[in-house]
Structure 1
Amino acid sequence: MDTHDHKPETNASGFIAPTSNAVEPEFELSTVPGHENAAPIPEEAAIADSAPIDPKPKKSRTPFQESLRRFRRDKRAMISLIVILCIVVIAILGPFIYHHIGGLYKQQLGTHIIGPDVYHTYDHQELDRAHEMPSPQYWLGTDGIGRDILARLMQGMLISIVLAVVVEIVDISLGITVGVLAGYYGGWIDQFLARLADLLFAFPGLLFIILVAGILGGWADDTLGAVPVIGAGGNARLLLISIVLAFTSWPLMARYVRGQTLQIKEQQYIEAARTSGTNDLTILTRHIVPNLFSIVMVASTLNIAGTIIGEAGISYLGLGVRPPGASIGLMISDASQSLSAYPWELLVPSLTLVIIVLSFSFIGDGLRDAFDPHSKD
């Protein structure tokens, strides 16, 4: 048998030439870029390949940012917030602007020539101009003794805002302090603070306010009436009412805070902080109190509406702001005496009070739905 024909052929340089039975790798020339038979690359893919890659991925929103986003989407709450901001601006800046609008005129019952800095004040009265309808001089008219209704209304809104702020500062301070201590430590501290809060809950708040205002009202007029800022213009009892309203409202805030604290202190990060040797003060100030922001904000917003109604009710009964001072409740009380003849004078302060209370209520509802979306279920 001749085996010479089966030997691979070699060339002069000594390399072995491949045989005809060798399997060649198969390439799809149409997939090789730049080849004359290559298929064209789609334009979308080319743009995607050439697009720059963002090295910084977008950060996910925090729970607080998500809550704010839900709150901004609540149209009713946002409209109410705008209304409250407008009321605050009008109450603070409105009197200064209103005192420069108008001209000089001579009083009918006197020889004095007065300007807008006098007749646009909340305590200036002219008996010959009582019960006037809205006019270029008095934009909302005058009341039963010739006082500017708009000037008194702006002063009344300012009184309501200041009172609400003072009450909420005391309410939040006492509520957070008592609620956090009771919920975190428990034991006899919880029992003592809980019984104290229950005692205040059992006593009617309005009755307590009337009792204190009736007993200490005269003392407040004599003692605080000489203070330029607090007692000037019949506002001597405002500080007394603020303290009483705050004293009767903080137990509800403390109850909310205590319940939330009981849930927070069982979280794993609190246990990890205790295990690492973190003291109680640091845990309370850095881990528990910041997480109470949502419930405190919702509760305080809803409480503002009750505070404004409470002040208006006390002033309506004659135990709050006294003449020549101005508050919404006092304006309603004065206008109710001539309701049948001049309903406009009662409609203006009453409608203002309704708008303020409803706006704060809608803001509170919006905050509650934003920070606790499961509350709708």
Structure 2
Amino acid sequence: MKPSAMLSKWRFDQWTAFAAASLAFLLLAAIFGPLLSHYSAAEISDQSLARPSPLHWMGTDIHGRDLLTRLLCGARISFLVGFFGALVSLMIGSAYGALAGYAGGKVDRLLMQLVDLLYSLPTLIFVIVLIALLEAPLRKAFLAWQLTTLLPYIRIFLLFLGLGLVEWLTMARVVRSRVLVLKEALFVQAARVLGRSPWGILRHHILPHLLGIVAVYLTLTVPAVILSESFLSFLGLGVEPPSASLGTLLADGAQTINPIWTAWWLLVFPSGALAWTLWALNVLGDKLRDRLDPSSR
């Protein structure tokens, strides 16, 4: 291998290792950071819009709440929405794509035409409509069941569901294309000749060969869901206050922008955390795709 090629490969692996370390650091900070903080995420003080200092490392917001603590709690919620939304996408997309690819014929054409139809719809508008339709009935049901402690988490649950329901389309297409190839493989034909049922063939012979490509696109779906959640929260349709996500923190920072004075730390730190998280996830997803997805080579 030429020295220039070795240097390029080393740099790429170095960036991948840095992305993995960054993601691990962000996850640990989001999980354990709020527990170690001296402040509460909802604790209001008289130090409104205080600049970063040794007392408040990232300053405070307009209500005097510590921004670092709220940023860690917001990152935790954004990670939860991203991971659970991606899992919903994984379950629906994998099952749908495997069924379409293995059934073939008219069933395949019908199912994929439905996917094409859903692709033509604005996905975020679908999530907004879903939240608008289901939030009020769920609130009434929780009040009737005396589950008042769960009321602040209704919007988060709807974000899990809504974003997962709109992000599965790409997963379904990828799984279907792979199943179309695998069902013609010799070991699948041998299993069919031996009398294995279609469900048994899918479960024992096809699905295990999809783990690599599914893991790749699951990694790439997480940042897409996080970005969508941040955008919805920025519009005021995401996490309800006093809870916070990276999107709501950016929205709070945007409200302080005026021609006279701007609390820059309310924008710089949340946007930096969001950009860092998305970068780390996308780098790891690209690396996994290069390693596990044969079609990318």
Instruction: Output the CA distance in 1 between the equivalents of 2:153 and 2:228.
Output: 16
The separation in 1 between residues aligned to 2:235 and 2:91, in whole angstroms, is: 29
1:320 aligned onto 2:252: no
Aligned residues of 2:119 and 2:169 also touching (Cα < 8 A): yes
Q: Measured at CA, do residues 229 and 303 of structure 1 come closer, stay the same or move farther in structure 2, by a change above 3 Å?
A: farther
CA–CA distance in structure 2, aligned partners of residues 304 and 150 of structure 1:
23
| 1:370 and 2:288 matched | no
Seen in structure 2, the aligned counterparts of structure 1 residues 358 and 230 have a Cα distance that, compared at 3 Å, is farther
- Quote the RMSD (CA, aligned, Å): 2.3
* Aligned counterpart in structure 2 of residue 125 of structure 1, from 29, 44, 66: 44
User: Where does residue 32 of structure 2 map in the other structure?
Assistant: 93
Alignment check: 8 A CA contact 1:316 1:330 kept: yes
Residue 26 of structure 1: aligned partner: none
Residue ranges of structure 1 left out of the alignment (5+ in a row): 1-69, 99-115
Shift in CA distance, 290/77, structure 1 to aligned 2, threshold 3 Å: same
In structure 2, the residue matched to 1:167 is 85
* Structure 2: segments with no counterpart, 5+ residues: 1-8
Decide which of 169, 185, 210 is 1:267's aligned counterpart: 185
Q: CA deviation at 1:218?
A: 4.1
Equivalent position of 2:218 in the other structure: 300
- Gap change, CA 1:239 and 1:224, over 3 Å in 2: farther
| C-alpha contact 1:168 1:246 (8 A) present in aligned 2 | yes
Distance 2:141 2:131 in 1: 14
Alignment map for 1:149-188 (pairs within 5 Å):
149-188=67-106
Secondary structure at 1:129 match in 2: coil
Higher relative contact order (CA 8 A, sep 6+): 2
Aligned length: 284
Could you report, residue by residue, the CA deviation over 1:324-351 in whole angstroms, capped at 9, with x for unpaired residues?
1111100100111223421111100000
Q: Which has the larger radius of gyration?
A: 1
CA contact (8 A) 1:77 1:365 kept: no
Q: Which residue matches 2:3?
A: none
| In 1: Cα distance, 2:95 partner to 2:262 partner | 52
1:199 CA displacement: 2.2
Q: Using a 3 Å threshold, how does the CA distance of structure 1 residues 159 and 222 change in structure 2: closer, same or farther?
A: farther
Instruction: Give 1:237 shift.
Output: 0.5
The residue aligned with 1:45 is none
| Distance across 2 between alignment mates of 1:192 and 1:299 | 24
- What TM-score does the superposition give when structure 2 sets the normalisation length? 0.88
Evaluate the alpha carbon distance shift between residue 352 and residue 230 of structure 1 in structure 2; reply closer, same or farther with a 3 A threshold: farther
Instruction: Return closer, same or farther for 1:94/1:341 CA change in 2, 3 Å cut-off.
Output: same
Compared CA separation, residues 213 and 75, structure 1 to 2 (3 A): same
Structure-2 residue corresponding to 1:361: 282
- Residue 96 of structure 1 deviates from its aligned partner by 1.3
- TM-score, normalised to structure 1, is 0.70
In 2, the alpha carbon distance for the partners of 1:334 and 1:235 equals: 20
Matched, 1:198 2:137: no
In the alignment, the residues of structure 1 paired with residue 142 and residue 206 of structure 2 have an alpha-carbon distance, to the nearest angstrom, of 39
User: Structure 2 CA distance, aligned partners of 1:346 and 1:86?
Assistant: 21
Structure with the bigger percentage of helix? 2
CA contact (8 A) 2:182 2:206 kept: yes
Task: After TM superposition, give the deviation of residue 314 of structure 1 in Å.
Answer: 0.4
Q: Is the 8 A contact 2:52 2:265 kept in 1?
A: no
Pick the aligned partner of 1:76 from 12, 15, 35: 15
